[in-house]
Amino acid sequence: MRGRSFALALAGLPLALTGCGGPPAPTASPTPTPTSGPWVLFESGSPTPSARGSWYTGSRPAGLPPVSFLPTDSASCTIGWPDSGQVLIPMNITPVAGGFKVEWPSAYGSSYRITAVPQGLVAGPQPEPSWQTVKAGAGCTVSTTIKGLKPGAPYIIWLDAPDTPRDVDGSRSLYSGKSGVVKPL
């Protein structure tokens, strides 16, 4: 008996929601008039496709060749790069007389800019750094030597990869590197 009264209550629900057969609820008109139009205007449309995330799943669209930045069969590519936390391009920096030898993986573009920024105190405006352009070769590493620096003075090495490639999902690869404080011999 109890199930039957519940079914009758559900059957009467549409009647209760419509106000016992009264006039239908007002709807917004697509063309408002100055005195009687709604204050909210809406138009019906068509569904749009769902947004796609930018997460790379590892699968590639059909027809695209595989991409490999660093050769895996070369002994020169087994360099132990310092862990940069995958935020900055890793660099190996070796102090030399009046400068530094700097080496990094060539996976981040075909040309790079590098500079050594002095860390000594300067009164007034800071001098602009002198950038050196370096082209990547065919190997898996790029290296250059920065010269003309004051021996024993503190510097920070900055690396920039302005033509960094993009991954299949559109995200940009690493495009800068920065050292800690280093001093030339």
Q: Which residues pair with 6 in a beta bridge?
A: none
Structural domain boundaries in the chain: 76-82+89-121+129-163+174-182
pLDDT at residue 72 in the model: 46
Q: What is the SS3 string spanning the chain?
A: CHHHHHHHHHHHHHHHHCCCCCCCCCCCCCCCCCCCCCCCCCCCCCCCCCCCCCCCCCCCCCCCCCCCCCCCCCHHHCCCCCCCCCCCCCCEEEEECCEEEEEEECCCCCEEEEEEEECCCCCCCCCCCCCEEEECCCCCEEEEEECCCCCCCCEEEEEECCCCCECCCCCECCCEEEEEEECCC
pLDDT at residue 71 in the model: 46
Tell me if 109 sits within 8 A of 163, measured CB to CB: yes
Tell whether the model's pLDDT for residue 127 goes beyond 70.
yes
From 70-74, 110-114, 155-159, the region with the lowest mean pLDDT:
70-74
pLDDT at residue 45 in the model: 73
* Tens digit of each residue's pLDDT (9 = 90 or more) over 167-182: 788 777 778 899 999 9
* Tens digit of each residue's pLDDT (9 = 90 or more) over 62-86: 555 555 444 444 555 667 666 655 5
pLDDT at residue 70 in the model: 46
* Tens digit of each residue's pLDDT (9 = 90 or more) over 10-67: 555 555 555 555 555 555 555 555 566 666 666 677 766 665 555 545 555 555 555 5
The domain 76-82+89-121+129-163+174-182 is placed in CATH, from the list 3.40.50.1360, 3.40.30.10, 2.60.40.10, 3.40.50.300, at 2.60.40.10
Sorting pLDDT into bands at 50, 70 and 90, what band is 123?
very high
Higher pLDDT, 41 or 99: 99
Instruction: Round to the nearest angstrom and report the end-to-end CA distance of the chain.
Output: 97
Tell me if 179 sits within 8 A of 95, measured CB to CB: no
User: Rounded to 5 degrees, what are φ and ψ at 14?
Assistant: -60, -35
